[in-house]
Structure 1
Amino acid sequence: MRRFPLVPLVLGIALAVSLTTPALAGPSADPAPGPGIGPDARLRAAAAVNGMSATRLERLLERDPAARLDRGGRLFYRDTAKAGAAGGAESGGPTTSARAVPAAPFPYAETFTLHSRPGSNRTIYLDFDGHSVVDTAWNDQAGVQARNYPGLSLDASATFSDAERDIVQDVWLRVSEDFAPYDVDVTTQDPGRAGLTRDSSGDQVFGVRALVTPVNWCGGGCLGVAYVDVFDKVSSTGYFQPAWAFSDEVDNDPIQIAETITHEVGHTLALNHDGQNSGSAYYVGHGIWSPVMGAAYGALTQFSKGEYVDPDNLQDDLAVMAKSGIAYRQDDHTVPTGAPLSRAVTGVIGRRTDTDTFAVTQGCAGPFTATASPAPRGPNLDIRLTLRSADGSLVSSNDPPSGRGANDFEAVGLDAQVTSSNLPAGSYTLEIDGVGAGNPRSTGYSDYGSIGGYSLDVDASCAVAAAPTQLNSLTGSATPTSVTATWRPPTSNGGSAVTGYLLTFGGTTVSLAADAREHTFTGLAPGTDYALRVHAVNAVGAGPERAISVRTPATRPGAARIRDAVAGSPGGKVTAKARWRAPLESGGSTRTRYKLRALRVDSSGDVVGRKTVTVDPDRRKKVVKLAPGRYVFRVRAVNAVGAGPWSPKSNRVRAR
């Protein structure tokens, strides 16, 4: 009889439990079979929990020893070094040795406020300072102790040292690069419950917590653990979080911590392991390359679709993740833009079909050098840089051979450079493309996973400065009476420093200083669309505009204006007629009705009764049937936002 790995009943001990036992049953939010049901029914129930066929689940459990089912039948992975994930003799990968961690590139004070894509609706939170794991599936279904799990630490101190902050920043850079093609914010700043949990299918702001902790509850050799396909699962408590990375198991090495995090987050985004039918469930790779979802500790690790020899998993990693919670980011360079002539421009190759093109003007015959470099830590992009003339003819192209650097876990030769000692004057374009190398089946890799961030720098002694390029971003926020524009500087200053910004709004143009990043316009009308255009300016002139439309939110209408009321008794009925004018302020939303209130008052003016009626929005008077007595009237306008204030009281009338 086949035996399937289930959740260990004693932490750190992986038990193989037969499906003839009731081990799959237990408390769970998901349906699970009860005791006495046969193994086939249990397998089908577990398959249904995980949204896959019973045959597929059976094969996965048979061939991958890292795959586990918790008591509710949900799939998770217990990733181990022995399976090849940490390199070393058992995996055939490079050996692990102590490496000096580069100094943090950002001020230490910013270590826990880093964001790769601020403002994104999706978040991957790198949690280094500890977290209380209570009332989660890990506790209820996998038997993990409910407690506070401490964060990364090189010593016994609760305060983060500079050395620890070096590790945090290094890990953040590497994980950010892995997910650079997606609209997801990799951050070290806690986004709070709302940023990580999904309350309903309509909730579009959510993410995952990747907890880095030295407390390895799953046993020696275990590097990380994560549930599968839960990133976009609806759960107001984040029931299937966190994804785990055990820092002490890799001696706090930032490269291995980062690779573990990306691997485990990949599981939450529905990715399974990349192995071989005839080998390990973790493919160790070949040459300098290894797959992220295999033993991802080569010099160059990339997401894969099983292009190597004898793959057991043909998942298109990039497409699967894009359907499982994180969408592709918008292309950042869709048309040729002016390349930087005095500083680097940055960008992202987001897909294998993406080529970024930049325009460069050479003002005279002279030296010219352009250098394109991938992300500085853990790059995934292998670059080919091409220089073309204005008619598209090839001038020069460069794609140096890639290889393993002095550090076994870092690749070299991913950058590219084109140079000329005497480039003729004229207009040119520079193209950046991600490329592969060698045979992806056995010696190299294709351009499938060759995507990620880059910087481009142009050094040309007689290059001609141009106006700045379009702003990198422009967003607007509004209150009923104000609009605030916020922007990021242009990708390129055109070779001349930005001297300021021009904001055009409602026919008015405002000039701002070079360090300005936002501006607020006040005194606006509610419920109104406003066009906003912003240009960066340098010594050459104003660059192309970036334009948006911002609508101020509507508000409640102003006070209606009451007029004199009159009383009468036509046909013997006791009535009074109230009259009013529309409010001067509509609130930016069409009126839907009026509320008219007749207040019965005694001789001293105190209210002793009231009657309220609804009046059509186009009416300005209303005859109200009343009981005999003294009355004053008040009226209020109502729109889609709500009711405005009551008007002052009308004159007093006697209905009799």
Structure 2
Amino acid sequence: MKKLLLTLFTIVCLHTCKIFAQVPKLSSYPSAAATIFLDFDGHVVQGTSWNYMGPIDCGASTLSGTDIETIFNRVAEDYRPFNVNITTDSVKFLNAPLNRRMRVIVTVSSSWYGSAGGVAFNGSFTWGDDTPAFVFSQLLGNNVKNVAEAISHEAGHTLGLFHQAQYDAATCNKITDYNRGEGTGQIGWAPIMGVGYYQNFTLWHNGSNSLGCNSQQNDLEVITDGRNGFGFRVDDHGSSFATSTPASFNNNAFEVKGVIMQNNDNDFFSFNIPATSRFELDAIPYNVGTGNAGSNLDMQVSLYHSSHTLLNVYNPGNLLNSIIDTVLEGGTYYLKVEGRGNQYAPNYASLGSYALQAKTNGLTPLPVRALNLNGKLEGNKHLLNWVIDADEQVVNLRIEVSTDGRTFIPLQQVENNARSYSYQPLSKQSLRYRLFVEFDNGRYYYSNALTLQPHAITGPKVAGNIQANGQFQVLSPDKMQYRLFNAEGKQIQQGNLVAGVNALQVKHATKGMYIIQYQHTNGQQSTDKLLIP
């Protein structure tokens, strides 16, 4: 039986309609055979599963050409990891195989159906009869983000995806068919197959779908498992030091681009600096505006020496982009780019395209033989020490700190002959340090940047004693899901863990062995045992 899936209309119209403009012809991946066509200029639908009451005359959207381009870019980024072409060109659509194409009609005509944001038949991408999906742009207020979210969502239904739902962790009762995600700012997260109108960082998800609490839906697996005739794109950069892509400086700068296509994808780049220099790098996920709007990738960049020694990891907690600002001696270095989760979003589908923009200070050697900052944790204290080896005299020495990995502020002015400093931070969070040093010749320099983190939990693991009433604790290094099974292998409960200490209880506990299964943010699983005495 064909399954009809829709996105309910929950958006208030934000502005009036615009005069319709010529639709720009855009394609995200022209070499792909599988095609999703975004149709903005009207279409008469007939001879499909929708036409039980005759033809449907869909009026053109009233979106401007600029709005259409922004919508296209948002949808294209959602589908960037896959071997599928997102296009506004009808010729590309008509030339695609009949059973590997989908038309998504963005239209003002909604009265024939009702007050939904969009609607689609589940799995219709491969039906081969050009049954389309619909997004009702006026009911979405012609808001470009909401229209784009609805297009990606409805196209997802045609690829076989159901809604990502929310359930009560304790009772497994459904809260809503639409997982709204959590968080704020540019890392505020929601599933594409939930409701992504209200969050910036909307991704594919691995969670319980609308069919039931125990019905786990792995979005990436469903899209690429063969039913739709396409999989992931071919990897564009090597995933090791040996296969790294060389990045060459031109006028003391370089720019390279790439796509993180799977959650185990690492892109490696190599570059060479002839002499000691200040090295700055902006790692920017693809976006359509300020605040990394429309990005699907939370970037983490790691910097390695030619010996493959890790020098530092750059991943500001509340930003999707990353920045490097450090001093490097002459030699060869490597950059590793990967997608990561954050305090709201799981690591599962932080995927998408990016650019690395690097520059140096002109490759002029520093007039110092050494300027190195080191540090360590000792209990709750941060202990810093440094080496300054130069002919000039130090006239200004300052320790700077950053909480987000990109903006440094003064922490402490120290004596010019000081070579160490220790203190106890007020909050338990990762802090990034560097030295500002000014010499008597009027020149100033920055040291390498150093990150000190609170002691990490290496779990997840059951901690402490397990009580006879079933109470126990789990230490978890990150947010993740858990499932609890009895000795017969029957699941008896499930829920979510937060980073840190989690107080849990086995419901209706009886003496015996239980198994707890952890679903890690990278998609892997691990298990632990607990014995109730």
TM-score (norm: length of structure 1):
0.48
The counterpart of 2:31, out of the listed 119, 138, 148, is 119
| 1-structure distance, mates of 2:255, 2:126 | 36
Amino acid at match of 1:139: N
Which secondary structure does the structure 1 equivalent of 2:125 belong to? coil
Amino acid at match of 1:331: D
The percentage of counterpart residues that share the same residue type is 29
Work out whether 1:322 is the aligned partner of 2:208. no
Which secondary structure does the structure 2 equivalent of 1:129 belong to? coil
Work out whether 1:226 is the aligned partner of 2:120. yes
The C-alpha deviation readout for 1:504-542, integer Å capped at 9, x for no partner, is xxxxxxxxxxxxxxxxxxxxxxxxxxxxxxxxxxxxxxx
**How far apart are residue 148 of structure 1 and its match?**
2.8
| 1-structure distance, mates of 2:315, 2:214 | 31
RMSD across aligned C-alpha pairs, in angstroms? 2.6
Give the equivalent residue in structure 2 for 1:454: 354
Q: Given the superposition, is the C-alpha separation of residues 327 and 79 from structure 1 closer, same or farther in structure 2, using an over 3 Å criterion? A: same
Give the equivalent residue in structure 2 for 1:260: 150
| 2-structure distance, mates of 1:249, 1:146 | 21
**How far apart are residue 396 of structure 1 and its match?**
2.4
**How far apart are residue 251 of structure 1 and its match?**
1.2
1:67-146 correspondence runs (5 A): 73-82=1-10, 86=11, 97=14, 112-140=24-52, 143=53, 145-146=54-55
The counterpart of 2:164, out of the listed 271, 274, 280, is 274
Amino acid at match of 2:246: G
Tell which structure's C-alpha radius of gyration is larger: 1
Give the equivalent residue in structure 1 for 2:291: none
Q: Given the superposition, is the C-alpha separation of residues 228 and 395 from structure 1 closer, same or farther in structure 2, using an over 3 Å criterion? A: same
**How far apart are residue 348 of structure 1 and its match?**
0.4
| 1-structure distance, mates of 2:65, 2:176 | 35
Amino acid at match of 1:361: N
**How far apart are residue 220 of structure 1 and its match?**
4.8
Q: Given the superposition, is the C-alpha separation of residues 134 and 348 from structure 1 closer, same or farther in structure 2, using an over 3 Å criterion? A: same
Q: Given the superposition, is the C-alpha separation of residues 401 and 193 from structure 1 closer, same or farther in structure 2, using an over 3 Å criterion? A: closer
Work out whether 1:388 is the aligned partner of 2:304. yes
CA contact (8 A) 2:15 2:142 kept: no
Give the equivalent residue in structure 2 for 1:435: 340
Work out whether 1:210 is the aligned partner of 2:107. no
| 2-structure distance, mates of 1:276, 1:383 | 27
**How far apart are residue 218 of structure 1 and its match?**
5.2
| 2-structure distance, mates of 1:251, 1:434 | 33
CA contact (8 A) 2:203 2:296 kept: yes
Q: Given the superposition, is the C-alpha separation of residues 463 and 388 from structure 1 closer, same or farther in structure 2, using an over 3 Å criterion? A: farther
1:623-634 correspondence runs (5 A): none
The counterpart of 1:179, out of the listed 57, 62, 79, is 79
| 1-structure distance, mates of 2:256, 2:262 | 19
Q: Relative to total residues, which structure has the larger strand share, 1 or 2?
A: 2
**How far apart are residue 427 of structure 1 and its match?**
0.2
The counterpart of 2:62, out of the listed 137, 153, 157, is 153
Q: Given the superposition, is the C-alpha separation of residues 193 and 429 from structure 1 closer, same or farther in structure 2, using an over 3 Å criterion? A: closer
Amino acid at match of 1:118: P
Q: Given the superposition, is the C-alpha separation of residues 453 and 193 from structure 1 closer, same or farther in structure 2, using an over 3 Å criterion? A: closer
Give the equivalent residue in structure 2 for 1:331: 235
Q: Given the superposition, is the C-alpha separation of residues 399 and 216 from structure 1 closer, same or farther in structure 2, using an over 3 Å criterion? A: same
Q: Given the superposition, is the C-alpha separation of residues 344 and 307 from structure 1 closer, same or farther in structure 2, using an over 3 Å criterion? A: farther
Instruction: List gaps (5 residues or longer) in structure 1.
Output: 1-72, 89-95, 102-107, 155-163, 200-205, 403-412, 439-443, 465-656
The counterpart of 1:354, out of the listed 243, 265, 271, is 265
Instruction: List gaps (5 residues or longer) in structure 2.
Output: 168-173, 289-293, 365-533
**How far apart are residue 451 of structure 1 and its match?**
0.4
CA contact (8 A) 1:274 1:311 kept: no
Give the equivalent residue in structure 1 for 2:397: none
Amino acid at match of 1:78: L
Give the equivalent residue in structure 2 for 1:68: none
**How far apart are residue 195 of structure 1 and its match?**
3.0
Work out whether 1:414 is the aligned partner of 2:414. no
Give the equivalent residue in structure 2 for 1:344: 255
Give the equivalent residue in structure 1 for 2:283: 372
| 1-structure distance, mates of 2:273, 2:108 | 55
Amino acid at match of 2:3: L
Amino acid at match of 2:134: W
| 2-structure distance, mates of 1:151, 1:429 | 50
Which secondary structure does the structure 2 equivalent of 1:306 belong to? strand
